[in-house]
């Protein structure tokens, strides 16, 4: 049985300009792997309507789940909600339940629910809200697209909110064998082993040590723990480790 597939769409000029190093992709990738959902593609696009709409449509059609991060705050460059509505041909307006959440939150903190903050209650027609225990302004779900915030603490909280509602598969487990030899020395036996275990995925991730010497982490992944164990033992035996 195939695991469900997922894509992530990171929305934001700050990643593309090199100002910010992405953290949400790394977090989501690890979380999905743990529950057996295969993150298969990630795209990073800028804060432009045409780019966001095209990416949402392409990813939503190709994968079981799509997770977006970024662009749902109160400032002029936060255009994700409108883009999601446009991508699915839905209307968008301030929604009463989202407005109430914000009103109660800002009343408590003594801040004004002004026009800018009210933009965060604009939700595409027919969406389900994603609870935000950190800063209240909700994310939302349209069809198979989960729209979440870009601020890492809020993104993580929203991921935690939605995870129990997703249908996972067999969690991917992996073992890593560190080899202090160049990849070229181990490529032939590794390739033979990969052919022998077609249900496992074997990746070789080379590194260079500070002294210039090369090595590689061989990662063997699959859903059957016994199979992985057997492959690791064969690999270490054939390499004389």
Residue 65 burial class via C-beta count within 10 angstroms: exposed 0-12, middle 13-18, buried 19 and up: buried
What b/e sequence results for 5-22 when a residue is b if at least 16 CB atoms lie within 10 Å of its CB, and e otherwise?
bbbbbbbbbbbeeeeeeb
DSSP conformational letter for 110: T
Query: Of 54 and 90, which has the nearer Cβ to its own copies?
Result: 54
Query: Of 43 and 95, which has the nearer Cβ to its own copies?
Result: 43
Regarding 89 and contact with its own copies (CB under 8 A), the answer is no
- Helix, strand, coil percentages, rounded to 5, for the chain: 40, 25, 35
CB of 153 to its own copies, least distance (A): 5
Query: Of 63 and 88, which has the nearer Cβ to its own copies?
Result: 63
Binding mask 138-157 for its own copies (x = CB under 8 A): -------------x-xx---
Scanning 113-121, 124-132, 139-147, 231-239 for contacts with its own copies by CB under 8 A, the matching segment is 113-121
CB of 219 to its own copies, least distance (A): 6
Binding residues for its own copies restricted to 196-225, rule: CB under 8 A:
201-208, 214, 216, 219, 221
Binding mask 36-75 for its own copies (x = CB under 8 A): --xxxxxxxxxx---x---------------------xxx
Scanning 80-88, 163-171, 179-187, 231-239 for contacts with its own copies by CB under 8 A, the matching segment is 179-187
179 vs 200: CA distance, rounded Å: 19
Closest to 97 measured CA to CA, from 134, 135, 138, 69 = 138
Binding residues for its own copies restricted to 159-178, rule: CB under 8 A:
172, 174
DSSP bridge partners of 141: 128, 146
CB of 126 to its own copies, least distance (A): 26
- Residue 239 · residue 189 · CB < 8 Å: yes
């Amino acid at each position: 049985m195939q695991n469900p597939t997922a894509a992530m769409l990171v929305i934001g000029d700050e990643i593309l300009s090199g100002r910010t190093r992405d953290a949400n992709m790394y977090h989501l990738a690890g979380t999905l792997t743990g529950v057996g959902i295969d993150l298969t593609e990630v795209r990073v696009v800028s804060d432009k309507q045409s780019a966001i709409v095209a990416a949402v449509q392409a990813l939503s059609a190709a994968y079981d789940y799509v997770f977006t991060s970024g662009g749902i705050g109160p400032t002029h460059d936060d255009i994700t909600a409108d883009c999601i509505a446009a991508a699915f041909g839905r209307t968008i307006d301030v929604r009463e339940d989202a407005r109430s959440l914000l009103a109660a939150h800002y009343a408590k903190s003594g801040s004004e629910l002004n026009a800018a903050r009210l933009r965060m209650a604009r939700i595409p027609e027919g969406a389900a809200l994603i609870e935000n225990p950190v800063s209240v302004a909700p994310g939302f779900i349209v069809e198979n697209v989960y729209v979440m915030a870009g601020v890492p603490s809020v993104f993580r909280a929203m991921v935690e909110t939605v995870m129990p509602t997703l249908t996972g598969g067999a969690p991917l487990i992996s073992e890593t064998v560190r080899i202090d030899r160049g990849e070229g020395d181990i490529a032939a036996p590794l390739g033979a082993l990969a052919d022998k275990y077609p249900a496992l995925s074997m990746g070789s991730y080379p590194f260079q040590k500070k002294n210039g010497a090369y090595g590689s982490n061989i990662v063997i992944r699959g859903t059957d723990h016994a199979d992985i164990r057997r492959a690791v033992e064969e690999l270490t035996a054939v390499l004389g480790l």
